[in-house]
Structure 1
Amino acid sequence: MNKSKSIHKSTQSMRIQEIQLQPVFDLTAYEDGFVFVSASFGYDGNLYILWIDQIPERERGMFVQSDLQQKRVYKVLIVDSVQHCVQGITTLESHFNLHYVQPLGEELLLVGARSRYYGQDYYDLNVKIVDRQGQLRHELLLGDGIERVQTSVEGNIWTSYFDEGIFGNFGWHEPVGAPGLIAWNRQGEQIYVNTKADIADCYALNVVSDQEVWFYYYTDFQLGRITDPYDQPQVSLVETGLSGSHVVATNGAFALFQSGYNKKGSYSLLQQHGENKLSLAQKFSFISVDGDADELNVLDGRKDQLLFKERSYLYMVSLNELPRA
């Protein structure tokens, strides 16, 4: 494991470069009474969008429910991010409160962020594997408090966890997500467990491949890189100088972050110098087709791309479109 302080240029004199993005897909025709839940990149480069017919109420107005009293209808839209066309639509019903969708071979992985522990061998199975027609094939437990989930081409599942999933809530005295970052096979067996980073909240996850995974976490605000995770894992950790980013896109030479807490519209491009140093190369502000930066919400980072949503439009940016990257 390598730990090193970053080398940063002064941000006081660096001008923020504004870049206007163009929509890659309009969701309007497919919403049809559904409420947007999430959207993310799949390992195949396609976009996976999840809707629900009605957002479940929070318990006591605070806590996200896990198992629901009433079935909800979900819709998954798969969009080709290159051709900008629909590849498939799946609808299903579930009593579970689902938040994320990812491809898993010919099937779909739907994940609920929360899982409640009721007693020995009695807990919510918060992962549903369904076929492309929406029929349930398998259920798994991947732990409470899931912050991010990304699958890989080999059918493995990476999960990062927020604080409640790491330290325990919803009845979990020995939380599944205590390591902060775990990889699973499709049978729900752990095949990689973080032991190097002291994670209190794993904000960002980027599964480039089954040989290369990046993550960013609180409290150290370091960027982690894992190579060969299943056989001979090597982990490097480097300070970023950024506090509170929730996404990262990388091509290995550069990493693009949201700039941190209370900096919604600002993005920082850091240059990698070996495994030990990062330097600030450029700062960006991305704006929508209407010239609005505040309403452009970043949703996901995968490989060298970030995904955004503004109203019913999806936007993307890749590092090869940016100056100095």
Structure 2
Amino acid sequence: MRVFDALGRPSWTFRVGDAIEHLLTDAAGDLWVGYFDEGVYGDDPLSAPGLRHWSGTGESVWVYRPVGGADWISDCYALNVSGHTAWACTYTGFPLLEIGAGHAIRVRKNPVRGVKGLAVHGDRAVLFGGYGEDHDRLVDCRLTDTAVRPVTEGRLLGPGGGRLGRRRLVCRGPRLYVQERPGTEWTVLDIG
């Protein structure tokens, strides 16, 4: 990781591991990093937990460890950071993990597989992605204390009305930011 000052000059560097799938900052400027399977099962112990929280100066703040209802992470498929809360859907079981104050983890059982992105607002979550033909699937869900309850399902289409191809995806709070490749324009889905 390379940190730059307000004038764009490099200030310092630190390592956060290999095979980074997601890297987002929270309201305090700390980093949340989700790793894909090559990092989790690779040679770098920094990546092995699948999900970590780092300070903006490179100190490890928190490392994921299994909790009731959620096993070890093999791949962090989706990550969303909003304020001081992180949300993740992880392979293999795809539980919805909510990591809040003091790194307390709330686990919600989730029937939606292959989730690549998620937007969260109150008791609502929209899950994006899936396997094969479901790569552009949107599932509108309601959250209970222990579960994700799908309500309706549809497709996220590109600005021209066609199905999405290769894309970049960033999730922040109630928003999914989608950029089709190659391209410079972003499409935003806001559930707020």
TM over 0.5: yes
Q: Among residues 183, 186, 189, which one is paired with 1:314 in the alignment?
A: 186
Aligned partner of 1:138 in structure 2 is 12
Q: Among residues 181, 186, 202, which one is paired with 2:51 in the alignment?
A: 181
Kept in 1, the 8 Å contact 2:117–2:129? The answer is: no
Distance 1:134 1:224, change over 3 A: same
Report the count of equivalent residues. Answer: 185
The structural deviation recorded for 1:205 is: 1.0
- 2:139 is the counterpart of 1:268: yes
Q: Among residues 172, 194, 215, which one is paired with 2:64 in the alignment?
A: 194
Higher gyration radius (CA): 1
The structural deviation recorded for 1:264 is: 1.8
Task: Output the CA distance in 1 between the equivalents of 2:50 and 2:39.
Answer: 8
Aligned partner of 1:222 in structure 2 is 95
Distance 1:187 1:318, change over 3 A: same
Task: Output the CA distance in 2 between the equivalents of 1:289 and 1:146.
Answer: 29
TM-score by length of 1: 0.54
Kept in 2, the 8 Å contact 1:206–1:213? The answer is: yes
- 2:75 is the counterpart of 1:205: no
The 3-state SS of whatever aligns with 2:188 is strand
Aligned partner of 2:112 in structure 1 is 242
TM-score by length of 2: 0.89
Task: Output the CA distance in 1 between the equivalents of 2:8 and 2:135.
Answer: 35
> Partner amino acid for 1:283?
E
The structural deviation recorded for 1:286 is: 2.3
The structural deviation recorded for 1:298 is: 5.1
The 3-state SS of whatever aligns with 1:144 is coil
Residue pairs, 1:1-325, within 5 angstroms: 127-168=1-42, 172=43, 175-196=45-66, 197=70, 198-210=72-84, 212-229=85-102, 233-262=103-132, 263-273=134-144, 275-295=145-165, 297=167, 299-310=169-180, 311-320=183-192
- For each residue in 1:170-221, what CA deviation from the matched residue of structure 2 results, as whole angstroms up to 9, or x when unmatched? xx2x5211111111112211111111241000111111122x2111100111
Tell me which of the two structures has the higher relative contact order, counting C-alpha pairs closer than 8 angstroms and 6 or more residues apart. 1
The structural deviation recorded for 1:296 is: 7.4
The structural deviation recorded for 1:305 is: 0.4
Distance 1:164 1:288, change over 3 A: closer
- For each residue in 1:199-247, what CA deviation from the matched residue of structure 2 results, as whole angstroms up to 9, or x when unmatched? 000111111122x211110011111011113xxx321212211221111
Task: Output the CA distance in 2 between the equivalents of 1:191 and 1:289.
Answer: 40
Kept in 2, the 8 Å contact 1:158–1:183? The answer is: yes
The 3-state SS of whatever aligns with 1:267 is strand
- For each residue in 1:131-179, what CA deviation from the matched residue of structure 2 results, as whole angstroms up to 9, or x when unmatched? 34432111010011111011122121111111111111xxx2x521111
Task: Output the CA distance in 2 between the equivalents of 1:223 and 1:280.
Answer: 13
Task: Output the CA distance in 2 between the equivalents of 1:281 and 1:312.
Answer: 33
> Partner amino acid for 1:209?
G
Task: Output the CA distance in 2 between the equivalents of 1:298 and 1:161.
Answer: 16
> Partner amino acid for 1:177?
S
Kept in 1, the 8 Å contact 2:130–2:136? The answer is: no
The 3-state SS of whatever aligns with 1:165 is helix
- For each residue in 1:41-82, what CA deviation from the matched residue of structure 2 results, as whole angstroms up to 9, or x when unmatched? xxxxxxxxxxxxxxxxxxxxxxxxxxxxxxxxxxxxxxxxxx
Kept in 1, the 8 Å contact 2:158–2:164? The answer is: no
What stretches of structure 1 of length at least 5 have no aligned partner?
1-126, 321-325
